Structure formats: C-alpha cells, structure tokens
Amino acid sequence: MEAIELLQVIPDAFGGRELSGSEVWQAKQTFRRGELCLIEAVSGAGKSSLCGYLYGYRKDYRGTISFDGQAIRQWGRAEWRECRNNHLSILFQDLRLFPELTASENVRLKNRLTRYKSEEWIRAAFERVGIADKWEAPVGKLSFGQQQRVALIRALCQPFDFMLLDEPVSHLDAANSRIAGELLSEEVGQREAGLILTSIGLHPEMKYSKILRL
C-alpha cells in the first residue's frame, strides 16, 4: 500500500458544524508511505474517530477514504483481515490489550498470527522499553504507561506499510517517550512505512515530514 487518501471526509457527529482550519476534515489529504505525519488536535476534534475510520472499525463518516485509490467503505471482512495482517498496524488509544493474559502472552497472541518477530526480539524490546520485569505479569496489573509499551510492542509484531498511533505516549515520561520514539523510528524505517500519529500534546520526538492540525 503506497498512499492513504482522504477526500472531503467528515465525521457524522460533526453535523453541519463549520470547521475552521482543519487540514484533515473536509479537505483533500494524502498520507504517503515513508512519510512520518503528526496530527495535533485538541480533545473532541475526532482523533480516535479518524483512527477508527482508517482502521475500518467505524464507518460513521461522510466523504471518501481510499487506500491506493480503492474506497474502503465497501470492504468486507476478508479484505480488512488481509490489510490488518499485512499492511496496516494500529496502536489504539485504549490499547485493547487482554487484561487476563500476561504482558508477554498479549504480544505472543499477535505474533503467533503473523510470525513476524522472534521471541528474542520481543524479549529485547521489553528490555529496551523498560518493562522486562513485567514479562509474566498479567496486563490488568500494569500501569497504563506500562500497558502502552506492551501495546506498542504488540503493534510492531507484524508487517505494515502504515502505522496508526493514537496518542501512543500519553502516559509516558520524557525518557520513556524518547525510547519509544527511537524504537518506533527504527521499525518504521526498516519497513519504509508511513506513520500517522495523533497527539493532544505529548508525542515522541521524531523527524516528522509533516505536522497537520485536525
């Protein structure tokens, strides 16, 4: 997948509201593979809605979103599954981890499906982001910041052309945020993938190719 295009897209919830200054809603916007894009927004501007539309689990919008020229609104279960397994990865704002599984099991659950990363890589990643001691801990017992790091590692356990991150470092301190940003840059760079990251303030320091206002 090379490009994600948004054409006159607006969430249904916005109704007839006049939007001023948004570079994403009711505009023509293209995200290209290889570009790192930061989308800054205030609360309620529709960050999570945008991620939901792009990841295909929400369809409450008007306008057209297309992947490589193909409108995604009509996609069926099989197309989405293929896309989510090979071309598009996401870090949900609410993480969507399984609290009854351990941190490592949560990551393995994804990696078992794609067989993309080795056990060693996963362990090293845990080490790197500072949660190696949480390997066997049930995710339900971890702090949100720790959970964010587990979810980030899980999101990296697959091939992708684009990665969506919905406030990935909202609960991380500056040092951890920097480490997460480095890991992210490496992985995205290796895959020559595009990155779409939303933030209401805190975001990892990366070399963004463009910064948009939602």
Partner 1 sequence: MNLIGKLLRSHLSIAQLTGFFIANLTGMVIVLLCIQVYADLRPLFGDNDGLMRNNYLIVTKKIGTLGMLTGRNSSFSPEELEEIRRQPFIKKAGIFDASRFKVTAGIVFQHIGFSTEMFFEAVPDEYLDIQSPEWHFTPGGRTIPIILPRNYLDLYNFGFAQSRNLPKMSEGVIGLMRLDIRLSGEGRQGEFTGKIVGFSNRLNTILVPADFMRWANQTYASHAQPAPSRIILETNLSGDAEAERFLKANGYETDQEKLEAGKAVGMLNRITFVTGAVGMVICILSVYILMLSIYLLLQKNSTKLENLLLIGYSVSQVASPYRRLTWALNTAVLLLAVAAVLWIRSLYIPWLTESWSDFKPASLSGMLTASAGLCLTVSILNGFAISRKIRKLS
Among 17, 59, 73, 112, binds partner 1 (CB under 8 A): 112
Strand order through the sheet with 210-213: 88-91, 162-166, 194-199, 36-40, 210-213
Helix 103-114 / helix 119-129 crossing angle, nearest 10 deg: 140
Q: What are phi and psi of 75, to 5 degrees?
A: -60, 145
- Told to check if 154 binds partner 1 by CB under 8 A, we report yes
- Closest distance of CB 101 from partner 1, Å: 6
- Told to check if 48 binds partner 1 by CB under 8 A, we report no
Handedness of CA 171, 176, 177, 180 (dihedral sign): negative
The label of the residue with tokens 């940003």 reads 181
- Closest distance of CB 110 from partner 1, Å: 5
Geometric angle at alpha carbon 96, from 93 and 101, rounded to 5°: 140
- Told to check if 144 binds partner 1 by CB under 8 A, we report no
Binding mask 71-90 for partner 1 (x = CB under 8 A): ------x---x--xx----x
User: Based on CB atoms, which residue is closest to partner 1, 14 or 80?
Assistant: 80
Among 13, 42, 71, 113, binds partner 1 (CB under 8 A): 113
Return residues touching partner 1 (CB under 8 A).
55, 57, 77, 81, 84-85, 90, 96, 98, 100-101, 105, 108-110, 112-114, 154, 158
